[in-house]
Structure 1
Amino acid sequence: MLQIINVTLTHQNDLSKLTDKLSFTLSTGEKLGIIGEEGTGKSSLLQAIYQPNLISSYLDIEGQITNQFKKLAYLPQSLEKSVLNLSPSEFLYQDLDYDMFDFNHFYQLANQLNFKTDHLENDQLKMKDLSGGERLKLQLMKLLAHGPDLLLLDEPSADLDLTSLEWLAQFIKTSPLTIIFISHDQALLEACATAILHLELVKKRTVASYHFSKTNYSDYITNRLAAFVKQSQLANKEKEEFDKKEARFKRVHESVQHQLEHTKDSTAGRLLAKKMKALKSQESRLAKDQNQLTKAPLEMDSLNLFFTDIPRLAKQRTILHLQDQVLISGQVISFLVKGQDKVVITGLNGIGKTKLLKYILETLQADPTLSIGYMPQNYEELLNPEQSPLEFLDDYPLEDIKSILASLQFTREEIKHGFGQLSGGQRAKLFLAKMVLDKNNLLILDEPTRHFSPTSQPLVRQLFMDYPGAIISVSHDAYFINETGFSIFQLTDNDLLAQAIDR
């Protein structure tokens, strides 16, 4: 059993709270999905459960965490940079507990996940050379082969291909382990979460709030919406009735006040004074009634962003034409993209999708008529951990930067934080902000939805659907692939195939 009792996580630099008196209990075998907008403390909470010292340098922890599980395993959202220079074999044997590690189980997992075990025999290969999905698979295999009884996963589906996502969902659903996982993947949440913890920052991100429900994801969303609508309707009805009562009171008060100021009859004056005294009592009752009104439900402000004044490319203009182009990885690629095409490339982990996207980026950067916005899979490629959002966007007027960051729900404190203190979702938002400000007419996107919360993802999908320029993207997100209407291409070991898929 895991008990979280009145846990409050507070930033040391600005004293803002990520969680406030958070409490819940998790029993053996339960599968808890943690959801929430970007920067609400999901990863910090997971680290506090695993090893509080991971966050103690920048967060204060109050409250009680009682953990009765014997062996915890933790999958971080991203690997440390020092690990990326290790070979897969060095990573596997680093901190390996030989007494607990089950090599047979490890190789069974490798087979189930289609992980190429010959990577472990190649000392020239480094972790940084593997795709994001391959790195994630190796981490999962190493954790599970140690035999944990509580598994903590921070966005485990972020880099997995569709086949591996199906395996992960089935594993979480059927595993006897207790599993807590942070996810932005609606399909994964719907498939296997038996409880939901929803972390929020409301009132312009100044107040920490949470909802804990031992229901599946779909029921939680349905019940939350129904409760929101019911409370909103009740709050609106009570406010309308109160406003009418208050308006009547003000009319009477103004009338009595006017008569009192203009009467010269002492008897009438005394009667009016008594009436005014009674009105004062009524005013006190009104104030008390106002405090007892049903409050309108608090909800995090949604993503508020759109592209404007994008210089359109001609619909029939060819912007990319690869004809039998042989990649380093061996595939022979033929690929045609025109001025307003939107395409998404899928494929197995390690097949070379990111390498193909980077090749396309390098090819197109030579064209001065294209303004290219690029969102990499690994944000650290373009972000300095010490750099703040203000510094990242400093090519533009300060007021424009503050305005767009406010529309993305960044607080005054967060716009000065280094990237190292921001969540993956907040970093992703900064790439969106830069694209909007740059007014790019071509977007190249590597897993663009992977760090956005389930509540933000529909808005992000709509943003790209409404975008008037061309888009070349890579994604494993089933909702993104199926709902945007983009042309779908599958990268295989041999080539790039257009997919005719019935949506």
Structure 2
Amino acid sequence: MLQIRDLSISMRKDLRPLIEGFSFALNPGDRVAVVGEEGDGKSTLLKVIYDAEMVEGYAEWSGQVLRDGLLLGYLEQEVGPGDGALSGYEFCCKEPAFLESSPGELALAAGKLGVPVELFYTDRPVGTLSGGEKVKLRMALLTLRRPDVYLLDEPSNDLDVETLEWLEEFILNCGKPVMYISHDEALLENTANVVLHIEQLRRKTLPRWTVAKMGYRQYVEERLGRMEKQAQLARKEREEDRKRQEKILKMEQQVQHRMDSISHAERDAVARLLKKKMKSVKSMEHRFERERGDMTELPETEEAILVGFGPGVGIPAGKTVLELELPELRTEDGELLSEGIQLNVRGPEHICITGRNGAGKTTLLRKIAALLLPRGDIRAGYMPQSYAETVDQSLTPVEFLTGGSGEKAVMTRAKTYLGSMKYTPEECGHSISELSGGQKAKLFLLKMILDSNNVLVLDEPTRNFSPLSGPVIRGMLKDFPGCIISVSHDRRFIEEVGENVYELTENGLVKI
């Protein structure tokens, strides 16, 4: 049994506490979903549990993690620095379990994940693999290790629907305790039996954690219901208190007016009575003040906040946004991915492209972005799957949003928008490389809002948003009056945002 006792974690740079006094026992059969807003420390918690040395550069911690001889298996959110240049085979050889596995075991692991066994031996650099292929390859290597506990940081990122279904079955039936972070609401609802909710309240100065031994949907519904009841009771008590204060104030004014208007002849007798009444009123006021300290608190919650697109980002219904005819789609290495691709987009259509991992969706979207971004008749914005693809990670969020402009009004506007999305002043001064994946994704959307983009080209836009932010993001994009051309495996996103859905196959785009 994995035990955590009185664990506290804080950031080195700004001393911000991420989690305090956390105690927990991971038992056989537990499938623990770790949820929370972007930048709240979910990934850092998993790293401390697995190997605290992984956070030494940016975080401090105290407490105990008792592993009791257990072999922990950890899936990092991204491929490690420097590994992208390795070939697939070189990358696999870094894992001892791969070298010790028989060809039959390798074939079985590859088959379960729906990847060719040749992927273990490929000469292709890991950095050129699709996002889903990277996750599958690392999951296969992890299962070869046969750990006693699985710690999975965003295992659902970039997986196609078929592999997501495999991942659900794996979490449910692997027979080992699993603690995992995921932004896929369907995965959470179908697999979790324990929810660990990490929050940052009071502008990220007060950490709070909650452990609920129940399914994710039940937790969300009970939490919302409980907080709504608390809020109703708190509002009712405050309204009653307001009426009492008004009554007391009126009584005080009446007594004071009577005292000011009594004649000299009746002053002594009446004044004694009025003073007695005033004393009674003051006593009542003091009693109400004491009761006010016992009033129900308004619930403290960390809600997902995202500013919306302003006016003027619509697209006329007949406007031609894209007329794409692509005889062939190939990788940078020349591998043929698809043939005969055609895609016509007009007006405020919301297009979603899906398909198996490695089909070439990101490659296709890059080509679409290259066509649309230079156009002068539209204002296109692009969110790549890998944020470093188009953004200097050494920039601060403010520098990214302002384009380096030192103009006071421009900087003030950027900081105001960042504040509305719960960036602290300290985080506004951090480099983008120090931000969480979800915070980076919010930056891209915020940039599109500030630039008034009316065409959004989005590669897996919800992949790094928390399941609590997800509904807010989907609602905003669903109501977007401009055009969206996106790639996604997010089942909720496809259902709610994708008005026209296409699957990328070897024979082009097929409308679903």
Which range, TM-score by smaller chain? over 0.9
Aligned to 2:508: 495
Q: Which amino acid aligns with 2:19?
A: T
Q: Distance in 2 between matches of 1:428 and 1:238?
A: 40
> Measured at CA, do residues 401 and 102 of structure 1 come closer, stay the same or move farther in structure 2, by a change above 3 Å?
farther
- Please say if residues 444 and 472 of structure 1, whose CA atoms lie closer than 8 Å, have aligned partners that are also in contact: yes
Q: Distance in 2 between matches of 1:81 and 1:445?
A: 25
Secondary structure at the aligned position of 1:81 is classed as coil
Secondary structure at the aligned position of 2:310 is classed as coil
> Measured at CA, do residues 98 and 456 of structure 1 come closer, stay the same or move farther in structure 2, by a change above 3 Å?
closer
Q: Distance in 2 between matches of 1:365 and 1:413?
A: 32
Aligned to 1:177: 176
Secondary structure at the aligned position of 1:32 is classed as strand
Q: Which amino acid aligns with 1:283?
A: E
Query: Residues 202-351 of structure 1 correspond to what in structure 2 (within 5 A)?
Result: 202-258=201-257, 265-328=267-330, 329-332=336-339, 333-351=341-359
Instruction: Give the superposition deviation at 1:385.
Output: 3.0
Gaps of 5+ in 2: 331-335
Aligned to 1:443: 456
Aligned to 2:446: 433
Q: Distance in 2 between matches of 1:324 and 1:56?
A: 48
Q: Which amino acid aligns with 1:285?
A: R
1:24 and 2:15 correspond: no
Residue by residue over 1:99-120, the C-alpha shift from the partner in whole angstroms, topping out at 9 and shown as x without a partner, is: 9757644431211212122233
Q: Distance in 2 between matches of 1:105 and 1:260?
A: 96
Secondary structure at the aligned position of 1:331 is classed as strand
Query: Residues 22-421 of structure 1 correspond to what in structure 2 (within 5 A)?
Result: 22-68=22-68, 70-97=70-97, 104-123=104-123, 125-258=124-257, 265-328=267-330, 329-332=336-339, 333-395=341-403, 397-421=410-434
Q: Distance in 2 between matches of 1:13 and 1:434?
A: 26
Task: Normalising by structure 2, report the TM-score.
Answer: 0.92
Task: Normalising by structure 1, report the TM-score.
Answer: 0.93
> Measured at CA, do residues 383 and 81 of structure 1 come closer, stay the same or move farther in structure 2, by a change above 3 Å?
farther
* Range moving further from structure 2, 344-353 or 326-335: 326-335
Q: Distance in 2 between matches of 1:201 and 1:460?
A: 20
Give the share of equivalent positions with the same residue, in percent. Answer: 38
Q: Which amino acid aligns with 2:302?
A: M
Q: Distance in 2 between matches of 1:100 and 1:213?
A: 39
Q: Distance in 2 between matches of 1:120 and 1:464?
A: 38
* Range moving further from structure 2, 295-304 or 467-476: 295-304
Q: Distance in 2 between matches of 1:5 and 1:452?
A: 29
Q: Distance in 1 between matches of 2:315 and 2:504?
A: 26
Residue by residue over 1:150-182, the C-alpha shift from the partner in whole angstroms, topping out at 9 and shown as x without a partner, is: 111111101100000000001101111110001
Aligned to 2:333: none
Gaps of 5+ in 1: none
Residue by residue over 1:56-94, the C-alpha shift from the partner in whole angstroms, topping out at 9 and shown as x without a partner, is: 332221333333351011111112230101111111111
CA RMSD of aligned residues (A): 2.1
Instruction: Give the superposition deviation at 1:260.
Output: 5.5
Secondary structure at the aligned position of 2:227 is classed as helix
Residue by residue over 1:309-356, the C-alpha shift from the partner in whole angstroms, topping out at 9 and shown as x without a partner, is: 335443223232223521223412122112322210000001110001
Secondary structure at the aligned position of 2:145 is classed as coil
Instruction: Give the superposition deviation at 1:418.
Output: 1.5
Aligned to 1:478: 491
- Please say if residues 69 and 150 of structure 1, whose CA atoms lie closer than 8 Å, have aligned partners that are also in contact: no
- Please say if residues 71 and 149 of structure 2, whose CA atoms lie closer than 8 Å, have aligned partners that are also in contact: yes
Residue by residue over 1:381-440, the C-alpha shift from the partner in whole angstroms, topping out at 9 and shown as x without a partner, is: 123333211111124701211221122221222211212221111110000000001111
How many pairs align?
A: 498
Q: Which amino acid aligns with 1:221?
A: V
Secondary structure at the aligned position of 1:238 is classed as helix
- Please say if residues 75 and 153 of structure 1, whose CA atoms lie closer than 8 Å, have aligned partners that are also in contact: yes
Instruction: Give the superposition deviation at 1:25.
Output: 2.5
> Measured at CA, do residues 243 and 104 of structure 1 come closer, stay the same or move farther in structure 2, by a change above 3 Å?
farther
Q: Which amino acid aligns with 1:389?
A: P
> Measured at CA, do residues 86 and 262 of structure 1 come closer, stay the same or move farther in structure 2, by a change above 3 Å?
farther
